[in-house]
Each structure stands twice: as structure tokens, then as C-alpha cells.
Amino acid sequence: MAGSGKFAWTWTIKEECLEEYVSMHLAPWPEIMEEHSKAGIRDYSIFQNGAQFFYCFQCDDLDKAFAYLAESEACNRWNAITSKMVIGSFDFREAVPITPMREVFFLA
């Protein structure tokens, strides 16, 4: 099956950080939105189920997008805050900063 160009993963947010994490994502910094668009990320959604969050976006070149975000000053400031809220952590400079879920079905 050909891929859809969509990428998805989940993270669990620390209970004591839920309110702040949600607040930040309800009103993201404009420069964060701009940087993700410049990186080639589009149709980005985050869904919440308690402390578990499901992330999904489309991107034509994930490696290029993550390389761009790793060098973004705004994204590094945002990630310095939000990475402390995630159980585990993330760093766009790592070889695999997130663990994408396997896509098993796609209907165009």
C-alpha cells in the first residue's frame, strides 16, 4: 500500500502539565505556526484523550522538515518548554525524534 504522506504518533503528557500544555496548543505562537509551514508540514492536528495526545500531519520530506525545525530558534524555545511536559522527551536533532506509528489504512 502506498503511503499517504501522513505521519502520526502519540505522547503522554505529565498530569501536572496538562493544563499548560493544552493552553499552549490552543494559542500557539505565530512563529511556531510559520516555521512548521516553512518546514513543509501541513494539515497538522493534535487530538487529546486524557493525558494521551495523538499527533498527525502531512509532509512530503520528513527528514528535511525535521532538519529545518531542529535549526529553528522559535521551535527550540517552544520545545524547551513542552519537552519537559512529555513523558520521555524529544529532540529534532536526534536521528528519530519521534516514533511514527505505522499506517495500516488510508482512504483518499
Whole-angstrom distance, CA of residue 48 vs CA of residue 52: 6
Contact 28, 46 (CB under 8 A): no
Q: Which residue has the cell 522559535?
A: 74
Q: What is the mean pLDDT of each run of 10 residues along the chain (108 residues)?
A: 77 96 97 98 97 94 90 94 84 64 84
Q: Tell me the pTM.
A: 0.85
pLDDT score for 87: 87
Could you give the count of Cα atoms lying within 13 Å of 30 in the half-sphere of its Cβ? 0
pLDDT score for 1: 37
Helices (H), 1-108: 18-26, 30-38, 62-70, 73-82
- Domain ranges (residues) in the chain: 6-82
Q: Which CATH architecture has domain 6-82?
A: 2-Layer Sandwich (3.30)
